Amino acid sequence: MKRTAICAGLLGILLCLGLSASARAGDVVVLAYAGPINAISAEYISRGIGEAESRHASALILQLDTPGGLDSAMRKTVKAEMNARVPVIVFVAPRGARAASAGCFIVLAADVAAMAPGTNIGAAHPIFLSGGIVSEKIVNDAAAYARSIAAARHRNADWAEKAVRESVSLPEPEALQQGVIDLAANDVADLLRQLNGRVVHTANGDVTLSLAGATQIAVNLNWSEEVLSTLADPTVAYLLLLLGILAIIVELFAPHGFVTGTLGGVAVLLALFGLTNLPVHLTGLLLLILGMSLLGLELKITSHGVLTAAGLTAFIFGSLFLFPRAAGYAISPWAIGIAALLWVVMLVFVVRVVLRARHAPVLTGVQRVIGSIGVAKTDLAPKGVVLVNGEDWDASADPAPIARGEKISVLEIQGLTLRVRKLA
């Protein structure tokens, strides 16, 4: 009897401890992403979800501000959200943010969708960022995808389809009213307060959120994602590509011990690495290549500026059309202007080098010593030995004497003997 009472007491204590543990708020992993949806953002969000799962976090909050982006990256993100083992809350914030195009799908796929005041969502009609007209087949596929996501999350599927087909958008109050999102919040703290005690329908069943006093754990972009994100910036990738090509051209016409060419090659490789994460417009790329080709031909063909003018025109238009006219993919006009100016300066520099070489007298290896600076290895009174261009020469001082160690200049060469004078 006494043993039974003891066991019952221990069981009661364990149950109380268990209830206390289940009632205690856990960690909340918070991601913050602002920018185009691309391979880098998809990797970052997937990594954040994995971090939340490994920590057994109570929830993951993604604070999102995006103009849209790549379909492949969006679908990878949606899959990660809908198969996460922790509740995923997507919060369109801060005030003035948006979840357009691909961002609209990401919000619809969340376990809980929220927006801050002054934000908007929608405009999810697909476009070919690399140019061309989107077919009806692609639009139908995107519309069905949006509708299926919204239906799975018990949101307004009719509006989701309309956002794809008609590019409609909604501000935060109307999105809440029409059942596109679940709640509105001023900031993350307000969002956590409203989510506490809420039942969330997840892929693993219903979960009651216990977030009162939850510890917020920020997961930021790691160093590799930061580097990739910088390289994937359209302006950065554009400038790296052009500066790299310029450096290689300068190395070809005016060698600098392969230093300039090596730096140029590295810049081009980094630019190509960034361009793989960007939608490149074919027309813009062809115009850019044409412009650089015409500018290069100016070095070979005397066109009296015609090739330069045509090349610069094609170069500027190619730069403007290199990336699509979509939010998040614009090249800074300043960058285009600076790049065009650098091309002109490079052309002037190279042309001067070429013309100088053409009009310079042809010198043999021995004749190149004339005018060189060296040092006396012995006393010259008047004859001795000097070191010029790393080689020992018999020399005659004019005038003599010249002491050992003094700097000399080569006046002329007589046979294999140099006539030198002491530098003042």
The rounded distance, in Å, linking the Cα atoms of 76 and 53 is 17
Amino acid at 117: P
In which region does residue 26 sit, left (phi positive, over 0), alpha (psi from -120 to 50) or beta (all else)? beta
Helix axes 333-359, 234-253, angle to 10 degrees: 0
The rounded distance, in Å, linking the Cα atoms of 69 and 234 is 13
Fill in the DSSP letter of residue 142.
Answer: H
Extract the tokens encoding 242.
Answer: 């052009």
The answer to whether residue 2 is catalytic is: no
The rounded distance, in Å, linking the Cα atoms of 53 and 41 is 18
Catalytic residue among 41, 58, 76, 101: 101
In which region does residue 179 sit, left (phi positive, over 0), alpha (psi from -120 to 50) or beta (all else)? left
Closest among 214, 163, 178, 195 to 91, alpha carbons compared:
195
Residue 236 contacts by C-beta under 8 Å, 6 or more apart in sequence?
Answer: 230, 274
Which helix (H) or strand (E) is 234 found in, with range?
helix 234-253
The rounded distance, in Å, linking the Cα atoms of 409 and 388 is 9
248-255 own/partner pairs: CB under 8 Å, 24+ apart = 249/296, 249/346, 249/350, 250/346, 250/349, 250/350, 253/299, 253/350, 253/353, 253/354, 254/349, 254/350, 254/353
Catalytic residue among 2, 20, 137, 300: 137
The answer to whether residue 332 is catalytic is: no
Query: Residue 88's beta-bridge partner residues?
Result: 60
Residue 318 contacts by C-beta under 8 Å, 6 or more apart in sequence?
Answer: 284, 285, 286, 287, 288, 289, 290, 291
Q: Give the chain's radius of gyration (CA, Å).
A: 35
Residues acting as catalytic residues: 101, 137
